[in-house]
Amino acid sequence: MAGFQGKSVLVLGGSRGIGAAIVRRFAGEGAAVSFTYAGSRDAAERLATETGSMAVQADSADRDAMIARVRESGPLDVLVVNAGVGAFGDPLEQDPDAVDRLIRINVNAPYHAAVEAARRMPEGGRIIVIGSVNGDRIPFPGLAAYAMSKAALQGMARGLARDFGPRGITVNVVQPGPIDTELNPADGPMKDIQHAVMAIKRHGRPEEVAAMVAWLAGPEAGFVTGAMHTIDGGFGA
């Protein structure tokens, strides 16, 4: 497959999990891919070697470093903001610094990255942010801060779709349900609770999310913008 030959793609948070699957997908289709990571240097370097992509350390919690990375990537055909963290637990017990860090990574970084990318993005560019079905539905306690951050992306995508639409740039959110990664392993302690509310009682695969991202980035999706695209095995049904 060479559907993205000649296209420049930046994935923020690409070293592991869903982000790594997105890097593999675009690189496998011929794109020039670069991606960021925070701490997983070995995993990032292995993935870069495997896929012929470029790995760059840039912490999304550091606004200026993250914006600089987007700027230094040059004109991007596709920006994917995948980097995200959880801060789960009783809000009465949570460390407020952890909640603020989550907001910096899950909300502030996608906004600033999208705006910076749009400055140089050519006509028809694509901005895709990985949200969560928890932006729509929170069936368990302990998810308020995470859900708040993912719901914020919905307003962001709707607004930026209006701002950048006249240039043919689309802005979309992909909202996974439980996906088998280190953040949410298919054999982890939450497995049974999550599967109980799903129509398809299994974790999704990172490659399934990457396929939706690739479709949104491709030529068939040029009329799709300001929208949320849920891939959750019926978690939110």
Residue with tokens 């963290």: 85
How far is it, in rounded angstroms, from Cα 237 to Cα 199? Answer: 8
Interface with ligand NDP, residue 53, by CB under 6 A: no
Interface with ligand NDP, residue 132, by CB under 6 A: yes
Bridge partners of 172, per DSSP, are: 128, 227
Catalytic residue status for 146: yes
Asked whether 114 and 127 are in contact (CB, 8 A), the reply is yes
**CA proximity to 107, closest of 91, 85, 74:** 85
Kind of pairing between the strands at 8-12 and 78-81 = parallel
Interface with ligand NDP, residue 96, by CB under 6 A: no
Least CB distance to ligand NDP at residue 164 (A): 21
For ligand NDP, which residue of 54, 56, 67, 85 counts as binding (CB under 6 A)? 85
For ligand NDP, which residue of 78, 87, 179, 214 counts as binding (CB under 6 A)? 179
How far is it, in rounded angstroms, from Cα 4 to Cα 213? Answer: 12
DSSP state of 122: P
Residue 169 one-letter amino acid: I
Least CB distance to ligand NDP at residue 40 (A): 3
Interface with ligand NDP, residue 15, by CB under 6 A: yes
Q: Which stretch binds ligand NDP (CB under 6 A): 55-63, 114-122, 161-169, 210-218?
A: 55-63
Least CB distance to ligand NDP at residue 187 (A): 13
CA 205 to chain centre: 15
- Mind telling me the catalytic residues? 146
Q: Which residues of this chain interact with ligand NDP, rule CB under 6 A?
A: 13-19, 36-40, 43, 59-61, 82-85, 105, 130, 132, 176, 178-179, 181-184
